[in-house]
Amino acid sequence: MPYLFEQHSLEIAIVGGGIAGAVLAVGLSTRGLKVKVYERARGFSEVGAGIGFTPNAEWAMKDIDPRIHEAFKKVASRNASDWFTWINSYDVHGSTNGDEDELIYDMYLGERGFEGCHRAHFLDEVAKLIPAGTVEFRKTLVTVKERGEHEKLLLAFEDGTAAEADVVIGCDGIRSRVRQLVLGESNLAAYPGYTHKYAFRGLIPMNQAVAVLGEEKAGSRYMHLGLGAHALTFPVADGALLNVVAFVNDPKEWPHKDKLIGPCSKQDAVDAFKDFAPATRAIIDLLPDELDRWAIFDTCDNPAPTYVKGRLCLAGDAAHASSPHHGAGAGMGIEDAAALVSLLERVQSELHEETNTKARLIESALVAYDHVRLGRSHWLVESSRFVGELYEWQHGRDAVSIRQEIDWRARKIWSYNIDEMNRQAREDFMRRLGRRNRALA
């Protein structure tokens, strides 16, 4: 009897237990699909500190499982205002008139729009929604073997163990092993590249931040622009902390081959912002004495031509690692998860049909996923790289031009229609099966 008809359920392996992998696991499990998550770390963990989610990401959360959105709101910090403000914070030769920052743009975000939280706090809440026994830790993927259309894929791990699955989804981050397997280890697109920017990150007690910024600025989302550097500040931890990410342009190559974090001193950060306005310099002064230099890598220079190979596919940073300048990378991974959940649920419902093998159903669904996600996510990576340069005046200093670029790019991200994405993906999938009239069922 063919492999399809021996069992009428999918077995899905997710490689990577970060935000994208955890959210995907919740969505698939909620719909009754069999899921296993393989995470190489000892437990759930997220690098970095603060993270924000734009309206499109919140919509995707609700679509996948409303409990995910509730988890986010549980740990999100409400802004003091409903506005996102971009300011010229550069002060060389008094260009910002001393203590006064020059307003570049105020964007209304809506009630509770674009809130921030601590990455680890959000992941901890999402992890609580994953059924017990779903996740295996200390599992570093080595390879995935295709054994034929009527056989499951075979996953081999560094510890000598193996596992089987009908489909493997790589959510294993910017240094994705699954990306190498999909694109080929000799392909430049299988690896991220240095954006020639690095960042200092830190969390500042809110009482200290208020003392130098004031309550309104410390309690809201601000982007501080300037020549050769820029900084983002917003509240996290229920308003108890100010998250600071300070970016610096770097014309050199990243010196550390096997790691994205390098040593530095507090003075390095102070020097990078020495020509900024007093309030911005004061925030940099409040960063912890022990700092790291975080390299910003992305997939812009060598984007993946596809996220799919057979029954393997990529999602989140493994597919489209972007610089953080739009604040939308994690949200883009949640959009990926929404599309995959919708399509794999449809595959599950099609398993009783005897006109297609399970492998063909899966492959058709993944191609539909590829078509609906590739263009948008590539654009995000390119646009995020561009605005990071824009914030440091690498494309000119005209405030009107900067404001226009910020506005249309942000709205293209935030106004994305998740329902329409899923409709298009399902329609594409069903058309490949010759049953277009059932695409919207």
| Angstrom distances, CA of residue 251 to CA of 194, 196, 255, 276, 366 | 10, 6, 12, 20, 39
**Helix residue ranges per DSSP H, 131-253:** 177-183, 206-213, 215-218
Q: N- to C-terminal Cα distance for the chain?
A: 29
| Max Cα-Cα span within the chain | 79
Burial of residue 400, with CB atoms counted within 10 A of its CB: 0-12 exposed, 13-18 middle, 19 or more buried = exposed
| Angstrom distances, CA of residue 288 to CA of 18, 202, 230, 243, 322 | 26, 7, 18, 12, 26
Q: Which of 119, 177, 179, 201 is catalytic?
A: 201
Name, in order, each residue with C-beta under 8 angstroms of 209's C-beta and a sequence gap of 6 or more.
Answer: 218, 233, 242, 283, 286
Length of the chain: 441
Residue written as tokens 């193996």? 162
**201 catalytic per annotation:** yes
Q: What is the rounded CA–CA span in Å between residue 372 and residue 435?
A: 19
Q: What is the rounded CA–CA span in Å between residue 170 and residue 190?
A: 13
Instruction: Tell me which DSSP letter residue 76 carries.
Output: P
The catalytic residues are 201
